[in-house]
């Protein structure tokens, strides 16, 4: 089992920045791929960004490209999401997720952290 704990959410004005953290514990060898998802009120959960074990492969949703950056430090079992130029439409609960294989399902999820961007 893998346990994921997010932190760093909060209230920020539009144009501001936040950095989310997600720390994994347990069977961290099953966290080859880690990602961030978000779910706004009344909407479906959507993919935000993902990163492989070495950090050599990263991808993100078009809606956050050039504003959000995902990174990780395997020694700390931590993945971050740096969010810049935040917009009100970025308001959502942000979830950290992990999986073992590149093409498998996201098996492990954190409890989520609220990000609210005011206009």
Burial, 67: exposed, middle or buried (Cβ in 10 Å; 0-12, 13-18, 19+)? middle
Indicate the average pLDDT of the chain.
95
Closest CA to 48 of 77, 103, 86, 76: 86
Q: Which two tokens stand for residue 31?
A: 């966290």
User: How far apart, in whole angstroms, are the C-alpha atoms of residue 119 and residue 109?
Assistant: 29
| Per-residue tens of pLDDT for the chain, all 119 residues | 899 999 999 999 999 999 999 999 988 777 789 999 999 999 999 999 999 999 999 999 999 999 999 999 999 999 999 999 999 999 999 999 999 888 889 999 999 999 999 99
């Amino acid at each position: 089992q893998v346990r994921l704990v997010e932190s760093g959410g909060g209230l920020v004005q539009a144009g501001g920045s936040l950095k989310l953290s997600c720390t994994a514990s347990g069977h961290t060898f099953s966290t080859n791929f880690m990602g961030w998802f978000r779910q706004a009120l009344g909407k479906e959960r959507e993919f935000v960004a993902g990163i492989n074990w070495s950090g050599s492969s990263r991808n993100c949703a078009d809606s956050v490209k050039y504003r959000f950056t995902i990174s990780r430090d395997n020694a700390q079992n931590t993945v971050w999401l740096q969010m810049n130029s935040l917009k009100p439409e970025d308001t959502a609960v942000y979830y950290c997720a992990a999986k073992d294989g590149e093409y498998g399902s996201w098996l492990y999820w954190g409890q989520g952290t609220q990000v609210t961007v005011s206009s």
